[in-house]
Amino acid sequence: MAVQTVQAYQFALDVTPAQVRALLAHAGAARVAFNWSLARVKSVLDQRSAERSYGVAEELLTPVVGWSLPALRRVWNVEKGVVAPWWREVSKEAFNTGLDALARGLKQWGDSRRGQRAGRPVGFPRFKSRHRSIPSVRFTTGAIRVEPDRKHVVLPRLGRLKLHESARKLARRVEAGTARIMSATVRRAGGRWHVAFTVTVERTDRRPERPAATVGVDVGIRHLAVLSTGEFVANPRHLDTAQTRLRALGRALSRKQGPDRRTGRVPSQRWRRASARLGRAHARVADLRRDGLHKLTTRLACTYGTVVVEDLHVAGMLRNRRLARHIADAGFAEFRRQLAYKTVWNGGRLVVADRWYPSSKTCSRCGAVKAKLPLRERTYTCTSCGLVLDRDVNAARNLADLAVQPTDPETGTGMGGVVSAGSGPVAGRGAIQKTHFGGQEAKNRQPDTAPADQTGTVPS
């Protein structure tokens, strides 16, 4: 049985100088529509706020401007002849890109204020700068196709663009009728232009190589991943490896004449070239990290029927100034994100352990829980059964054991789902919350339950 999924195919472009100017013109049009519509929304909000302070009745206030994409588009179509008299020179999708981005930003801000959005508070949208924003434009209508030679793509108003690599994987699916292109987004990142196709794909049912096998994955810094099978996946540390070159490029950039907004000084051409070299170096690090994570997650999803990972509080870990750079370089969040959809694609399931589950402090043989386990102790020694095991292997085995624990069927337990498991909020109940204890108070305090790992498994 075939299942429809939404998938993206991204390819690098080899564009000519004329095509670069056309792409920048479209990206600039999207930025103009975004900034003008945002200014219109802000002016209406400020005007209504001022009128309320004067005691004007609600029914007499300035009419609001709708925040949805159709409402913003209607206002823009009325004023675009005055705001952008050159609007006929670019595709209408360029303006739609900016308006859609503003509609999404306003919705996220409103949902965050009302408490309907999880995560950190979202601020009000800000104006986009020509020099600091990433050029991007999205096409949803018009001629969007891959040429028969699979080395060129056709986009509205931009025409025929050459690909840096072959698009045969996408072309084969489109020709077979198992994929349909929904949209195409062109953006510049790391000094190179890319095109990403959003495609609806019909995927056939798949099964992992070992459907009944379960693997626990403990991520860390010393080793990128430690499996419950005893396998250690080395951490390539791409950012640390590139630090020497990045520092040299950063010093070279600091010696050039850069921009100064206070005096209005424009950057020199040498500064622009040095900045581009530094950007390409950072982009290479990101590409290497992404490639390694894709290979690891694909192998896990295609091999094991059940994969168990931790729900780490990565934002809290990044507050540790000694480990922040190493944690960011490992890419814990990206690792879990890729596993979430790849396990579904391959017919497996992903079990996410509760954030408070003490996987590192629990003995994988007898289940005894230690009160404390400092990060410097790399070997787990159980005082109850005498187990001596690597700390990360012990945590991975505890994670693998979670997959066989009974869970609520309403959470989606079964093949092809993401399941939450672990001790839940009870694990944190009775745990010692204070950082330091002194005197007899620390010796006499006995928690009601086994103390929990307050941050999940601390990365090794």
Residue 423: predicted pLDDT: 53
Q: In this structure, are strands 418-421 and 349-353 parallel, antiparallel, or unpaired?
A: parallel
* 3-state DSSP percent of the chain in helix, strand and coil, to 5: 40, 20, 35
Q: Which of 100, 329, 392, 453 is catalytic?
A: 392
| pLDDT score recorded for residue 375 | 84
3-state helix/strand/coil string of 309-360? EECCCHHHHCCCCCCHHHHHHHCHHHHHHHHHHHHHHCCCEEEEECCCCCCC
Residue 216 CA to residue 223 CA, distance in Å, equals 14
How many Cβ atoms from other residues are within 10 Å of residue 134's Cβ?
9
Please spell the DSSP secondary structure of 421-454, one letter per residue. Answer: ES-GGGGGTT----S---THHHHH---SSPPP-B
Catalytic residue among 93, 310, 401, 453: 310
Question: Does the annotation count 240 as an active-site position?
Answer: no
Distance CA 174, CA 154 (A): 14
pLDDT by 10s per residue, the chain, length 460: 678 889 999 999 999 999 999 999 999 999 999 999 999 999 999 999 999 999 888 888 888 889 999 999 999 999 999 999 999 999 999 999 999 999 999 999 999 999 999 888 999 999 999 888 999 999 999 899 999 999 999 999 999 999 999 999 999 999 999 999 999 999 998 889 999 999 999 988 889 999 999 999 999 999 999 999 999 999 999 999 999 999 999 999 999 999 998 998 999 999 999 999 999 999 999 999 999 999 999 999 999 999 999 988 888 889 988 889 999 999 999 999 999 999 999 999 999 998 888 989 999 888 889 888 888 888 999 988 888 999 999 999 999 998 875 444 444 434 456 676 665 443 333 333 333 333 333 333 333 333 333 333 334 4
* Burial category of 67 from C-beta neighbours within 10 Å (exposed 0-12, middle 13-18, buried 19 and up): middle
| 310 tagged catalytic | yes
| pLDDT number for residue 413 | 39
Annotated active-site residue in 218, 329, 354, 453: 218
Half-sphere exposure of 458 (CA within 13 A, CB side): 14
Cα separation, 400 vs 9, in Å, equals 33
Note if 392 is an active site residue: yes
pLDDT, position 457: 39
3-state DSSP assignment of residue 247:
helix
d(CA 117, CA 115): 6
- List 5's β-bridge partners, or say none: 201
